[in-house]
Each structure stands twice: as C-alpha cells, then as structure tokens.
A and B are shown apart, each in its own frame.
Chain A
C-alpha cells in the first residue's frame, strides 16, 4: 500500500484507503515524542523546503518538527504575499528550489491552486500546507486522527464545522476527508459565509447550531477573520459572536462527551469562549501534538523511491 500521487494537494484527491493508511501510520509516530531522543533517522539526508507565502507559526513549526523528527534537513523560505505580485514568480521560485535538489516542498499560499502550480512544475513531492480558500489537507488529517483517537471511529459520527465555510480551506479538507470515512457532516454559519453549492459536497447546512447541537459528536470551530466584516459578510464581530460563538450556553443541550476542536489560532471570546476552549471536552492542544505525528506520516509515506518492493521477511 502506498500513496498514489507524489504530492499531497488535497483530501479530495486521496482515496478512503489512502486516508486510512496515513491515519494508521501516524499512530506509531506519536510514540516517538515520548522518547528521550525524539527523533528517528528515517529521512536522513533528505531536504524539506518550507515555502511560506503567508505567515503561519503554527503550521510551519509543526511541519518543521515533523521533518526534523524524521532527521530531514529543513530550510525555511518566507515570502510575504505582497511581494508575490512584484517579485519572482511562483514558478521561478519552484524551479529554483528544484535546482537546489529539495526532496519535499511544503507550501502555504494565500491563493487557491498555488500548490498545484508548484506540483506541476517540479519533481519533488509537494505538500499543500494551505492554499487560499481551497484545501489544507494535513489539518483535515490531524482533525480526523484526533477524532479517531478520542471516539475510536469516524463512521456514523455527527460532526459540525462552524464558522466561515466560504473562505475556509480547513472546512473543505474536513468535508472531503470526513465524508470519505463515513461521517455525517454539518456546516453551520452565517448564510453569507456558506456557499450555496456546498450542499453538493454532501453536507447538511444549518444557520443555527441549536437545531442540531443535541446530536453532535464533534464540533470543529473555525477561526473568524476580522476582514470579513469590511466585506459586508456580517455586521460586526459582536453580532457574529452572539449568533455563532460557541460558549457553554450554546452547548447546554450537547452530549456530555462532545469533542471541541479548533484549528487555531483561537479568537477567544469571539468564535469560542475561554470556558469552552479550556473545558475537558476540548482537544485543541492535542490537535497540535497530533499534527506533528500526522505530518510525519505524510512525509514518511511520500518518501518512497523508485526501487523495488521491500522484502518483508528474513533481513
């Protein structure tokens, strides 16, 4: 069993079996974090370039630790998005990285499709660390890993994603992944932030969480961006918080073991109350730990060469 593509661009492009392979592989990687030497030599001599066009301490650090714990060398390239229009083109940057013999390129970009452009251009494995409003596959995977860890399964669970669905790559990756693994996916948010056609992605749309809170096993709360207010998508953050912010009042009818998730960074008091974020139901910090394991699994599985199959006995 291996991944079909050289790149990980989105969960849309992975089969159910591939997603399951990544999640299964991630599990033993978590044990490495408990060792004195939190590092294995697997990707010794491999180079991982972290190409970040958007500031992201969290995702970048997670990928960097994942690579380092597999003994790969990492190089950070941070390019501000404002430089994109004037500076070197994405394709030229990609070709430059290729010429430097990188084995992996982890790319974060503010524009949808950027990872595809790089993947088409170079032979190194490209991992999409978030492209515009499109996908953020490793976030989707780590969310699923966390759910399986806590609930033992994904199939049949009622899972709601709450917030700005329209602009969220996290939402899209979760919807693809969760559906492939058999969850019932709900999206909840202001009607201006839920695209009409999202229903065709096999999700149930709600504008009021109270309608479904009693049956939910997981709520995944998205970060709300202040800029959306200027785009006439909702009148004020205060109003957003009142209607969609998750607090203990809104969770009153929730199952006692409901999982609270958030991809971070959180706007406490806006989309999530501090009480909820720090409650026993919250797995937000565990998502961070699991993120490294999942990213290690992804790097490991993409690292295969062109050689023969491994001899599974007598070595």
Chain B
C-alpha cells in the first residue's frame, strides 16, 4: 500500500489558531478550570494535550493536570490482529474521581479509540464528566460517539487518511490528506 499526499488541510499557522480557539472553547464550556484535567491519547493526542495545557496557562495563569493514556490494552481487536501493537506508556498521576476530564486526540474516525479511552479512564476512578477534544473529525463513526470540541470537520472516504504532523515528533506542524493506493 502506498500513501499519496493529496492536500494540506492545515498549516502551522492554522493549527496554532485552531488550538487557541479550542482552548477558549474548553474554558468557556467548562465553567472555569479548577476541576479540569487533560488526558492526551498516545501518541499525538499527548502532544496536543500538552499544547492545550500551555495555552490554558497563558490565558488563565493556572496549571491543569496532564495525563497520558495508551489505549492499546483496551482495544477490541488485540486478540485478532496478527501483529500486536506496541504498548506505550500510560501516566495518570492524579485521582480522576470527581474531575472534568478532557480527552484529547488528533483525529476522530470510527470512535473505537475513544470508547477504549473512556473505559480505561473509568478504571482509574469516577470522573464527574468526560469530554472529547479532537483536532480533526474525519467522519465515519462506527460507535455513537461525538466530539465536544472540534478543530476542523473534514469528512473523507474510507480510502483516504488524515495525517497529523507535530513538530515534537514529526519536525513539522501540518495536517495532510492522503490517499491509500
């Protein structure tokens, strides 16, 4: 399978603006950030959560707790696929009980990752609320899951793919539409 780049959906500047807007929305809809925690989903959700937390700090001068979640062990397909996905670090060093948790991920597609993430968070405790922030919603849901905060809606077909590149690991900030051939 080859991936052909078709289109740049967001450049560095647009991503920056989008994240800023998302942060404002989060503050607005959360009625203050006292009880707020951010949990980034491995891998790129972790960096996006971090960026949002920096924005939050800039705006509110307050620091929110940041957690890392790897949902691999909660996937619904680990015993059927032939190559086991690499298990990455999970690090939630605060009690989630009673918190307003914002899950952060890069692209929302089938909703299965988010289902896993919700289940996993609940094994850590009983949050007051769990909300979902994503950079791109590409449509194509297989589960009844919807985002609360969306950077950009960009419905695409099954043989297309949205790749989020982040400076922290990809040396560049951009969101690209690719096609599988």
Binding site for B on A (CB under 8 A): 1-2, 24-25, 27-29, 31-32, 35-37, 39-43, 45-46, 70, 297, 300-301, 303-310, 312-315
Do A307 and B82 touch (CB < 8 A)? yes
A93 CB to nearest B CB, Å = 25
Which residue of B73, B82, B120 contacts A304 across the interface (Cβ within 8 Å)?
B82
Which residue of A40, A307, A314 contacts B73 across the interface (Cβ within 8 Å)?
A40
Do B81 and A43 touch (CB < 8 A)? no
B107 cross-chain contacts in A, Cβ below 8 A: 313-314
Do B124 and A37 touch (CB < 8 A)? yes
Is B169 interfacial (CB 8 A cutoff)?
no
Besides the known contacts A304-B79, A304-B82, 16 further A-B residue pairs in the complex with CB atoms under 8 A apart:
A28-B87, A37-B124, A39-B123, A41-B74, A42-B78, A42-B79, A45-B79, A70-B73, A300-B87, A303-B78, A303-B84, A304-B84, A307-B81, A310-B83, A314-B138, A314-B162
Q: A28-B88, A31-B89, A41-B119 are in contact. Are A304 and B83 (CB under 8 A)?
A: yes
Bound-state Cα–Cα, A28 to B43, Å: 14
Is B91 interfacial (CB 8 A cutoff)?
yes
Q: 0/1 per residue, B96-122, Cβ < 8 Å to A?
A: 000000000001011011000001100
Bound-state Cα–Cα, A300 to B70, Å: 15
A169 CB to nearest B CB, Å = 27
Bound-state Cα–Cα, A27 to B74, Å: 17
B124 cross-chain contacts in A, Cβ below 8 A: 35-37
B175 CB to nearest A CB, Å = 12
Do B73 and A41 touch (CB < 8 A)? yes
B162 cross-chain contacts in A, Cβ below 8 A: 313-314
What are 24 residue pairs bridging A and B, where the CB atoms are less than 8 Å apart in the complex?
A: A1-B83, A2-B82, A2-B84, A28-B70, A28-B89, A39-B123, A40-B73, A40-B74, A41-B73, A41-B74, A42-B74, A42-B75, A42-B78, A42-B79, A300-B78, A304-B83, A306-B82, A307-B81, A309-B83, A310-B85, A312-B85, A313-B162, A314-B107, A314-B161
Bound-state Cα–Cα, A70 to B113, Å: 18
B106 CB to nearest A CB, Å = 9
Bound-state Cα–Cα, A151 to B75, Å: 33
B130 cross-chain contacts in A, Cβ below 8 A: none
Chain A: CB-nearest residue to B178:
A313
Do B74 and A307 touch (CB < 8 A)? no
Binding site for A on B (CB under 8 A): 70, 73-75, 77-91, 107, 109-110, 112-113, 119-120, 123-125, 138, 161-163
Do A31 and B84 touch (CB < 8 A)? no
A29 cross-chain contacts in B, Cβ below 8 A: 87
Do A25 and B79 touch (CB < 8 A)? no
Do A305 and B89 touch (CB < 8 A)? no
Chain B: CB-nearest residue to A103:
B79
Do A31 and B83 touch (CB < 8 A)? no
A30 CB to nearest B CB, Å = 10
Bound-state Cα–Cα, A31 to B125, Å: 15
Bound-state Cα–Cα, A82 to B162, Å: 62
Do A46 and B82 touch (CB < 8 A)? no
A312 cross-chain contacts in B, Cβ below 8 A: 85
Chain A: CB-nearest residue to B120:
A40
B84 CB to nearest A CB, Å = 5
Do B90 and A31 touch (CB < 8 A)? yes
A301 cross-chain contacts in B, Cβ below 8 A: 84
Bound-state Cα–Cα, A314 to B73, Å: 17
B112 cross-chain contacts in A, Cβ below 8 A: 315
Bound-state Cα–Cα, A39 to B122, Å: 12
Q: A313-B161, A314-B162 are in contact. Are A307 and B78 (CB under 8 A)?
A: no
A27 cross-chain contacts in B, Cβ below 8 A: 89
A24 cross-chain contacts in B, Cβ below 8 A: 86
A191 CB to nearest B CB, Å = 45
B80 cross-chain contacts in A, Cβ below 8 A: 305-307
A142 CB to nearest B CB, Å = 17
Do B77 and A307 touch (CB < 8 A)? yes
Sort A-B residue pairs by CB-CB distance and give the 8 closest, nearest first.
A40-B73, A305-B80, A37-B123, A307-B80, A314-B109, A42-B73, A310-B81, A2-B83
A92 CB to nearest B CB, Å = 28
